[in-house]
Amino acid sequence: MQTQLADDIKSTRIGEEADAILRSCVHCGFCTATCPTYQATGDELESPRGRIYLIKQMLEGNPVSHRTQRHLDRCLTCRACETTCPSGVKYGRLVEIGRAYVDKKVGRTLPDIVIRKALRTLLPYPRRLAPLLKVAQLLKPLLPKSLKQKVPAVQSVPASAATHHSRKMVALAGCVQSAIKPGTHRAALKIFDRLGITLTTPPAAGCCGAVSYHLTQHEEGANFMRHNIDAWWPLIDPASASPHEAILITASGCGTMVKEYGAILKDDPAYADKAALVSALAKDPCEVVANEDLSRLKLNPPAQKIAFQSPCSLQHAQQLNGRVEATLKQLGFKLTPVPDGHLCCGSAGTYSVLQPEMAQSLLNNKLAALMSGAPDIIATANIGCQLQLECKSTRPVKHWLELVAEAMV
Ligand code: SF4
Ligand code: SF4
Closest to 199 in 3D by CA, of 258, 124, 283:
283
CATH number at residue 351: 3.40.50.1860
pLDDT tens digits, one per residue of 24-58: 999 999 999 999 999 999 999 999 999 999 999 99
> Can you give the pLDDT at residue 90?
97
Asked if residue 279 and residue 174 are part of one domain, the reply reads yes
Asked if residue 121 and residue 88 are part of one domain, the reply reads no
Q: What angle do CA 258, 261, 263 make, to 5 degrees?
A: 135
Domain span at 361: 297-407
> Can you give the pLDDT at residue 260?
98
> Can you give the pLDDT at residue 259?
98
CATH number at residue 266: 3.40.50
Q: Is the beta carbon of 236 within 6 A of some atom in ligand 2?
A: no
β-bridge mates for residue 169, sequence order: 199
Give, using CA atoms, the residue closest to atom 2 of ligand 2: 78
Asked if residue 266 and residue 198 are part of one domain, the reply reads yes
Cα of 319 vs centre of ligand 1, distance in Å, is 18
> Can you give the pLDDT at residue 125?
95
Is 153 part of a structural domain of the chain? no
Give, using CA atoms, the residue closest to atom 4 of ligand 2: 75
Give, using CA atoms, the residue closest to atom 7 of ligand 1: 25
**Ligand 2, atom nearest to 79 Cα:** 1
Three-state DSSP class for residue 372:
coil
CA dihedral for 374, 380, 384, 386, sign (positive or negative): positive
Q: Is the beta carbon of 29 within 6 A of some atom in ligand 1?
A: yes
> Can you give the pLDDT at residue 141?
82
- The helix (run of H) or strand (run of E) holding residue 385 is helix 383-390
Is 154 part of a structural domain of the chain? no
Q: Is the beta carbon of 50 within 6 A of some atom in ligand 1?
A: no
Three-state DSSP class for residue 33:
helix
Taking the CA of 47 as reference, the closest ligand is 2
> Can you give the pLDDT at residue 160?
78
Domain boundary residue, one of 288, 312, 329: 288
Q: Is the beta carbon of 78 within 6 A of some atom in ligand 2?
A: yes
Three-state DSSP class for residue 244:
coil
Three-state DSSP class for residue 301:
coil
Is 195 part of a structural domain of the chain? yes
Is 389 part of a structural domain of the chain? yes
CATH number at residue 32: 1.10.1060.10
Asked if residue 304 and residue 272 are part of one domain, the reply reads no
Q: Is the beta carbon of 23 within 6 A of some atom in ligand 1?
A: no
Number of domains in the chain: 4
pLDDT tens digits, one per residue of 68-106: 999 999 999 999 999 999 999 999 999 999 999 999 999
User: Letter for the amino acid at 378?
Assistant: I
C-alpha to C-alpha distance for 166 and 198, rounded to whole angstroms: 8
Q: What angle do CA 85, 357, 126 make, to 5 degrees?
A: 85
Q: Is the beta carbon of 37 within 6 A of some atom in ligand 2?
A: yes
Is 377 part of a structural domain of the chain? yes
β-bridge mates for residue 256, sequence order: none
Taking the CA of 96 as reference, the closest ligand is 2
Cα of 89 vs centre of ligand 2, distance in Å, is 12
Q: What is the distance, to the nearest Å, from the Cα of residue 50 to the centroid of all Cα atoms in its chain?
A: 24
* Strand order across the beta sheet in which 167-172 lies: 197-200, 167-172, 247-249, 282-283
Cα of 26 vs centre of ligand 1, distance in Å, is 6
Contacts of 145 (CB under 8 A, 6+ apart): none
> pTM score, two decimals?
0.95
DSSP 78-144: --HHHHH-TT---HHHHHHHHHHHHHHHH---HHHHHHHHHHHHHTT-HHHHHHHHHHHHHHGGGS-
β-bridge mates for residue 172, sequence order: 249
Is 36 part of a structural domain of the chain? yes
Is 214 part of a structural domain of the chain? yes
Within the chain, which residues score under 70 in pLDDT?
none
> Can you give the pLDDT at residue 280?
98
Q: Is the beta carbon of 49 within 6 A of some atom in ligand 1?
A: yes
Asked if residue 142 and residue 37 are part of one domain, the reply reads no
Cα of 51 vs centre of ligand 2, distance in Å, is 9
